[in-house]
Amino acid sequence: MSAPAVVLHVDALLFDSDGVLVDSHAQVDVAWRALADEFRLDFSVLATQLVGVPARQTLARHLGGARLDAAIGRLEDLEVETAATTAAVRGATELLVALPADRWAVVTSATRRLGEARWSGAGIPMPAFAITADDVARGKPAPDPYLAGAALLGADPARCLVFEDSAAGGDAAVAAGAAVVAVGDQVWRVTEVVRVTDLATVRVEIAPSGGLLVTFTGDAVSQTP
């Protein structure tokens, strides 16, 4: 028996990129391992620190000065080199195509160059609005990226629905005052309104009031009490 549908009424949608719209886990692993070898860093430590946050925040814990800048530049090159093999998360393309372009934005910890390379590689629609690591001084888990994303759309953060896969991203969304959907199975520190496996069970329509009605259906969906 299928779980009952969950319906949320919001004004705008904010999507994290990696792990939500695109599956770049294999590419991230290859790039960070190569960087660790080149800069003599412990990958096993980096792997516990890099998910959902800007690369600079992670690398600044281990490097400084010119060496930090060199590592950041090198990592971006390594990640862009593999971006063409990025895949779309199931349901992402269909959902984005169905949305009005001015009602959604991508809010990612990647740089704009890397984000655009991965979106192109995955074949998903290019966002008309995006906040990247280049646009904010403080990245996730600070609320700044999601506050900036809401402002870009002219929306109240409290009327935005965020889609996130990482604990840091979930923290950022809640700190910004937004409701957040957890995509995947990472353990979070905050409470999501819905948890889904991917975006294939998500449908959006325009409400009579002009807002967005976001419906989650199927056994892959669970609503947090």
What backbone phi and psi angles, to 5 degrees, belong to 47?
-60, -25
- Catalytic: 16? yes
pLDDT digits (tens, 9 = 90+) for 82-119: 999 999 999 999 999 999 999 999 999 999 999 999 99
pLDDT digits (tens, 9 = 90+) for 157-195: 999 999 999 999 999 999 999 999 999 988 898 989 999
Which one from 18, 144, 171, 198 is the annotated catalytic residue?
18
Those residues whose C-beta lies under 8 Å from the C-beta of residue 48, and which sit 6 or more positions away, are: none
Q: Can you give the CATH number for the domain in which 148 is found?
A: 3.40.50.1000
* Per-position b or e across 138-152, b if 16+ CB within 10 A of its CB: ebbbbbbbbbbbbeb
Residue 31, in any domain of the structure: yes
Query: Do strands 160-164 and 87-88 pair parallel, antiparallel, or not at all (unpaired)?
Result: unpaired
- Catalytic: 165? no
Whether 196 has a pLDDT exceeding 90, the answer reads yes
Confidence of residue 59 (pLDDT cuts 50, 70, 90): very high
pLDDT of residue 209: 87
Residue 1, in any domain of the structure: no
The whole-number average pLDDT for the span 138-142 is 94
> 212 is in which domain, residue-wise?
6-23+86-223
The whole-number average pLDDT for the span 140-163 is 97
Tokens 């950022």, located at residue? 172
Whether residues 55 and 140 share a domain: the answer is no
For residues 39 and 67, the answer to whether their CB atoms sit within 8 Å is yes
pLDDT of residue 32: 87
Whether residues 135 and 43 share a domain: the answer is no
Region of poorest pLDDT, from 4-8, 34-38, 157-161: 4-8
Residue 148, in any domain of the structure: yes
Proportion of the chain above pLDDT 70, given as a percent: 95
Confidence of residue 123 (pLDDT cuts 50, 70, 90): very high
The whole-number average pLDDT for the span 7-24 is 96
pLDDT of residue 71: 92
Whether residues 49 and 17 share a domain: the answer is no
Residue 54, in any domain of the structure: yes
Whether residues 19 and 29 share a domain: the answer is no
The two structure tokens encoding residue 207 = 């409400």
Q: How many domains does the structure of the chain reveal?
A: 2
**Dist CA 26 CA 46 (whole Å):** 15
Taking the model in full, what pTM does it have?
A: 0.89
